[in-house]
Structure 1
Amino acid sequence: MELLILAQLFLAWALASPTHPTKPDCAELANAWTNPAVDISQAIEVPPNSLNISSIVNEVSLCWVRGTIKYSAKNDKLDASGNNTLTWELFLPDSAKYNGRYLMIGDGGFAGTIENNTMLTYLNLGYAVAGSDAGHSEAANGDGTDVPFLRNSAELQAWIHNSVAIATPVTQSLVAKYYSQHPDFSYYWGCSTGGAQGYALAQYHPELFDGIYAGSPGNWYSHLILSFLWNGLHTTGKAYMSQQVLSFVTKNVIEACDELDGVKDGLIENPLRCSFNVTSLQCKFGQTPDDNEPTCLTADQIKALQEIYAGPKDIRTGKEIYPGFSLGSENGLLGQELILYLDYTGPILREVAFKDSSFNIFQFNWGSDVDAVNQKVSPFIDALSSDLSRFQQRGSKIITTQGWSDQYNAALWPLQHLQEIQRTMKSQSDFIEVFMVPGGGHCGSNPSYPHVPAVYHVLEALVPWVEKGIKPSDMLSSESPDGTNTTRKLCPWPATAKFVAGNIDNWNSYTCVYPQTPIPASQIAYSSYHEYGTSIPLPGTVDSCGGRQLITNITANFCRVVLDTTISNSSSEHIESWLPDTWSDRASYRKRRYWRMY
């Protein structure tokens, strides 16, 4: 697909360009395209401080270009006769402010609109910024129960997989036309659905971008919506939890696990280390549950939380369908209870999986119906490949952020996907990093954690990595919703932020620390204590020493720890540590390998 589009676009651009290109004025961009599939409806100059979008104002003058692209039913070429239209916008900063970089902004939810408030933010930083509606209008999103674009296979395929690839070459060529040179580097920025689009770019269109930010990624969208359904169905009736109940649970979780990182800051740095048992909150004899001022939970509510933590399971095999939510995320789950499964799961199941407007989501079969989702939905909207070698080989980079308290996406999903990439691509760390955000919500803040900074300085980490090879050792997050001047240090997984000294609300008071990898207990064969004068038999056959040996010249009391680690199917390595009661601050090492046949 991408080769056909690029060939058409750059041929058209070349034909429209003068022999010696010079910077045209903004209005001339309206006539920059000869391909009938591309229509430019607007190209206007906008002076500084005259464009206000969601309280964000343009600090620099810009050329604001807007247009449409007709694309084919298969998304594989521009097609003037096609019935499918993608709308795009492009903000071009004054050449004196332009930093030489192109940035495409992704979409959110079902898309249908252009994220031009985000575009304006990065325009002010000097980027030439583009965005699109993902190949369909907002009207095609319907009313939440009926979503027309899901019935259009071309628009469905474009939504996550291909819309960015359709819009990017057109807008990139206009950048080249305006500044008389192609961008030095091209970046993508997206979160949620935009995060899914980011992974789709790395998988299906690896040639387009040098750097990708894919935040809170919904790149397993077909199972993300099953997570919505699972959580919604398990919190109906007596299992329903009010916002007050959810906040009560989170309050207790934080009280139990806040200081595991050594700092009392109202956060859990790494929820995987928290062992809080929610059953401790179940109402005891004499306690009365109260939705408004809760002091305990009912058995039904406890069960619902346990199901949410566990995540959806296949009833035939018990296999995980999607990861569950983390401890500390409870206060953001009201949308899971009331909205998400109705607004997202229902339409996708009815329109795509079963093509039956009468399908009853409350009768979803957590076995055979999961198979239907895998077969009929996943090919259109998922981007799950763990082999991103084409993207990696061109030197491109990906950064993902994920809030531990995400209200929509289970925080463990990006870590599971990273693990799959690690298994497939042994040198994964040279092109992808995941930054987990304690208390972070979906693409920013969780309203129940107003003191947690909600702006992640991703491009400040991604750009030096792409352009100078400086791998990010940390990332700044700032601008907490409560208005305090709080900053936090985000760390590349599996590192976490450890407080060193100073103000706990200043990111410079922390350092990123990687966990020490413990030896699995199953590898420890035995440990024993030996006193002066004892003899120690060595196990097995030692190289060519001819049988069992005794160590008899022991002159100190010591603890002996013996480990056996598998090397291959036919051997293991025998490792011992001798730890004297008193030692000389010195150590020596001699390697002996013990072979065993299985």
Structure 2
Amino acid sequence: MNRTKTVLAAVLVLVGASGFPPATAGQAAPACAGLDQLRIPASVMSLPTTGGRVTATSVVTGPVGGRTITYCQADADIFPVDPAAPAIKMRVDLPAGWNRKALMFGGGGYDGTIPDLTANVPFGPADQPVPLARGYATFASDSGHQQNPASPPSLDGSFGMNDEALLNFAAGDALKKTRDASLFLIRHAYGTNPAETYFAGGSTGGREALTVAQRWPTAFDGVISAYPAWNNLAEVLDLGYLAQVLSRPGAFPGPEKQTLLYDSVIQACDGLDGVRDHVVSNPAGCHFDPRTLRCPDGADTGAICLSDAQIAAVLALSSPFRWPYRVASGETGYPGFPFLSGADMRTPFLGFGTTAPADPMPVTSGYGMQYWDQWVKYFLTRDPDHDSLAVDPRDPGKWLGRISYLSTIEDRNNADLRPFAAAGGKLILLHGAADELVSPRSTSDYYQRVRDVAGPRGTDAFLRYYLVPGANHANFGTPAFAAGWDSLSALDHWVEKGQSPVDPVVTDVNDDRTRPLCAYPEWPRYRAGDPDSASSFVCTR
């Protein structure tokens, strides 16, 4: 991989007052016509394919992230080895005024569509240009399968019936194939490799970010991993257990009761950080007991209380889940979700959903329940008619062998990132403390595993982990704190200049409040002054 730090004089000339090289409108797009129908040799990809081909190109001039820019968009297919497997569909956006850097985006859920290459990185800033508008060449793929348009977005697991498609997605094979093919096209368009190549993704994309650092430590110079579903098999088993719990008669708390729970948690824990701002800054210090909301005699008597069955369901959601058998990945459980730590119950679709799980699985059930349903049908049993609620994650019976195998490709749990660090790689890890879909406790667990392997000093040399109070999954809906931070510039400075992030500040992009972005395990405690200003807080343990 080309890790040269030479800065081209032409790029220096192009740097504007904002510090970002503009991809200027009116400049000629780089060699776009020469890419059309270009063959991508199998030899440029380190994993098996039968090559690829550019299927379409176009020169685009228009608004991107607040700027009007010109870029070449090239779509391509990477052909499978198995004729029955779908192609990997990928896209590369090549800006005029290229800053000689490249950024790959990760996907979400079950993938199946090409991410928006004109978008921002996860938890990105609202007041800065997006990567393409800064001059980054951006690229991504659908991870090797195409979603059924009739399915809810990112919730089509039917590709799991094919082994090659499964490995492309779950093991991350499509990531390296897409990276190699994209760099081939970038070299063809600009006549040189990128000086730096980065990866940014959240949720499934966050797992993909950790996958590239684990499996191909020299492939990317820097990685942004946000709310990563790194232990995908482990989480799926917990989701399956929770689907069964929530499907029990009377156990599902409807939207009104979810709001009651959320408001009660905020009332109990909001002020523990020194200020009441609807943000629980120290989730570990919040010890709300849902039994304080118990209905008289434990029966369901309305929206102002929780029945015994609903309390049991809430406790199951927020408690660690362990299984009494071994799987090949070595994982033994999942730490549960922070529904009692300030999670945003105002966005129930991601967490509980608005209706109880059932067979067939309603599209109004929680996202995680639908994810489990697809996993059982297409990954585990490979029977589209199988009742997912009939599979017990605590006692899977005949499915144990298949579960164990799937753990080897879905749990991307290698904590030895020393090869990535030795190659000069830098990793920024982000998670919202109120995430209702991927547990922040799980990311904290992975971070601690990395520290156990690399040691505190070794870890600090290449990794920063930030837990953002009040932020939920991908700023979905109306979170208590919609996180925005220029992690890409921070990563770029770290990679290029060796300057690690110092006293970063995160902004609530919905109302411009700011907070110090505290390196885990620290959290922001209010001191004095304007409660909407980061300067009024101090990072503490």
Query: What TM-score comes out, normalization by structure 1 length?
Result: 0.73
- Show the counterpart of 1:442: 473
Opposite residue 480 of structure 1, the aligned amino acid is: V
- CA shift, 1:83, in A, is 4.4
**What is the SS of the residue equivalent to 2:87?**
strand
Alignment deviations for residues 104-140 of structure 1 (CA, whole Å, 9 cap, x no partner) = 0111111111112554732112211111111111239
Query: In structure 1, how many angstroms separate the alpha carbons of the residues matched to 2:105 and 2:479?
Result: 27
- Show the counterpart of 1:91: 93
Alignment of 1:239 with 2:251, yes or no, is: yes
Query: In structure 1, how many angstroms separate the alpha carbons of the residues matched to 2:219 and 2:136?
Result: 17
- Show the counterpart of 2:169: 159
Alignment of 1:44 with 2:54, yes or no, is: no
- Show the counterpart of 2:524: 497
Query: In structure 1, how many angstroms separate the alpha carbons of the residues matched to 2:300 and 2:407?
Result: 45
Alignment of 1:219 with 2:230, yes or no, is: yes
Choose from 302, 310, 313 the match for 1:304. 313
Q: Check conservation: 1:134, 1:158, Cα contact below 8 A.
A: yes
**What is the SS of the residue equivalent to 2:148?**
helix
Residues 184 and 502 of structure 1, relative CA distance in 2, 3 Å threshold:
farther
- Show the counterpart of 2:35: 29
**What is the SS of the residue equivalent to 1:395?**
coil
Query: In structure 2, how many angstroms separate the alpha carbons of the residues matched to 1:132 and 1:500?
Result: 46
Alignment of 1:273 with 2:278, yes or no, is: no
Which has the higher mean CA deviation after the structures are superposed, 264-273 or 376-385? Answer: 376-385
List aligned pairs for 1:404-483, cutoff 5 A. 404-426=433-455, 427-445=458-476, 447-449=478-480, 452-481=481-510
Which has the higher mean CA deviation after the structures are superposed, 258-267 or 419-428? Answer: 419-428
Q: How many residues align?
A: 472
**What is the SS of the residue equivalent to 2:334?**
coil
Query: In structure 2, how many angstroms separate the alpha carbons of the residues matched to 1:253 and 1:469?
Result: 41
- CA shift, 1:363, in A, is 3.0
Alignment of 1:314 with 2:320, yes or no, is: no
Opposite residue 221 of structure 2, the aligned amino acid is: D
Query: In structure 1, how many angstroms separate the alpha carbons of the residues matched to 2:138 and 2:117?
Result: 11
Which has the higher mean CA deviation after the structures are superposed, 325-334 or 250-259? Answer: 325-334
- CA shift, 1:300, in A, is 1.4
Opposite residue 142 of structure 2, the aligned amino acid is: D
Residues 462 and 83 of structure 1, relative CA distance in 2, 3 Å threshold:
same
- CA shift, 1:288, in A, is 7.0
- Show the counterpart of 1:9: none
Q: Check conservation: 1:140, 1:147, Cα contact below 8 A.
A: no
**What is the SS of the residue equivalent to 1:297?**
coil
**What is the SS of the residue equivalent to 1:91?**
strand
Choose from 185, 189, 205 the match for 1:174. 185
Opposite residue 112 of structure 2, the aligned amino acid is: G
Structure number with bigger Rg: 1
Alignment of 1:329 with 2:343, yes or no, is: yes
Alignment deviations for residues 123-159 of structure 1 (CA, whole Å, 9 cap, x no partner) = 1122111111111112399679974310011111111
Residues 285 and 353 of structure 1, relative CA distance in 2, 3 Å threshold:
closer
**What is the SS of the residue equivalent to 1:47?**
strand
Q: Check conservation: 1:90, 1:128, Cα contact below 8 A.
A: yes
Residues 500 and 179 of structure 1, relative CA distance in 2, 3 Å threshold:
farther
Query: In structure 2, how many angstroms separate the alpha carbons of the residues matched to 1:172 and 1:87?
Result: 15
- Show the counterpart of 1:594: none
Structure 1 gap ranges (5+): 3-21, 74-80, 516-598
- CA shift, 1:474, in A, is 4.1
Alignment deviations for residues 437-496 of structure 1 (CA, whole Å, 9 cap, x no partner) = 1111112245252xx133332212211122222222343333534xx2223332111121
List aligned pairs for 1:117-136, cutoff 5 A. 118-119=118-119, 121-136=130-145
Residues 255 and 430 of structure 1, relative CA distance in 2, 3 Å threshold:
same
Identity of aligned residues (%): 25
- Show the counterpart of 2:536: 509
Residues 340 and 453 of structure 1, relative CA distance in 2, 3 Å threshold:
closer
Query: In structure 1, how many angstroms separate the alpha carbons of the residues matched to 2:406 and 2:300?
Result: 45
Structure 2 gap ranges (5+): 2-27, 42-49, 121-129, 353-364
Query: What TM-score comes out, normalization by structure 2 length?
Result: 0.80
- CA shift, 1:287, in A, is 9.7
Opposite residue 297 of structure 1, the aligned amino acid is: L
Q: Check conservation: 1:406, 1:446, Cα contact below 8 A.
A: no
- Show the counterpart of 2:195: 184
Choose from 243, 253, 259 the match for 2:271. 259
Query: In structure 1, how many angstroms separate the alpha carbons of the residues matched to 2:384 and 2:57?
Result: 42
Query: In structure 2, how many angstroms separate the alpha carbons of the residues matched to 1:320 and 1:307?
Result: 17
- CA shift, 1:315, in A, is 5.2
Query: In structure 1, how many angstroms separate the alpha carbons of the residues matched to 2:119 and 2:350?
Result: 27
Query: In structure 2, how many angstroms separate the alpha carbons of the residues matched to 1:395 and 1:229?
Result: 39
**What is the SS of the residue equivalent to 1:478?**
strand
Q: Check conservation: 1:156, 1:380, Cα contact below 8 A.
A: no
Q: Check conservation: 1:315, 1:366, Cα contact below 8 A.
A: no
**What is the SS of the residue equivalent to 1:131?**
strand
Q: Check conservation: 1:465, 1:472, Cα contact below 8 A.
A: yes
**What is the SS of the residue equivalent to 2:220?**
coil
**What is the SS of the residue equivalent to 1:108?**
coil
Alignment of 1:65 with 2:74, yes or no, is: yes
Choose from 318, 325, 350 the match for 2:377. 350
- CA shift, 1:501, in A, is 3.9
Higher relative contact order (CA 8 A, sep 6+): 2
**What is the SS of the residue equivalent to 1:149?**
helix
Q: Check conservation: 1:400, 1:435, Cα contact below 8 A.
A: yes
Residues 118 and 25 of structure 1, relative CA distance in 2, 3 Å threshold:
closer
- CA shift, 1:511, in A, is 3.4
Query: In structure 1, how many angstroms separate the alpha carbons of the residues matched to 2:476 and 2:536?
Result: 22
Q: Check conservation: 2:110, 2:155, Cα contact below 8 A.
A: no
Q: Check conservation: 1:246, 1:330, Cα contact below 8 A.
A: no
Query: In structure 1, how many angstroms separate the alpha carbons of the residues matched to 2:71 and 2:156?
Result: 38
Q: Check conservation: 1:119, 1:131, Cα contact below 8 A.
A: no
- Show the counterpart of 2:101: 101
Query: In structure 2, how many angstroms separate the alpha carbons of the residues matched to 1:187 and 1:146?
Result: 28
**What is the SS of the residue equivalent to 2:322?**
coil
Residues 476 and 91 of structure 1, relative CA distance in 2, 3 Å threshold:
farther
- CA shift, 1:34, in A, is 5.7
Alignment deviations for residues 151-190 of structure 1 (CA, whole Å, 9 cap, x no partner) = 0111111114111110112212322333332211110011
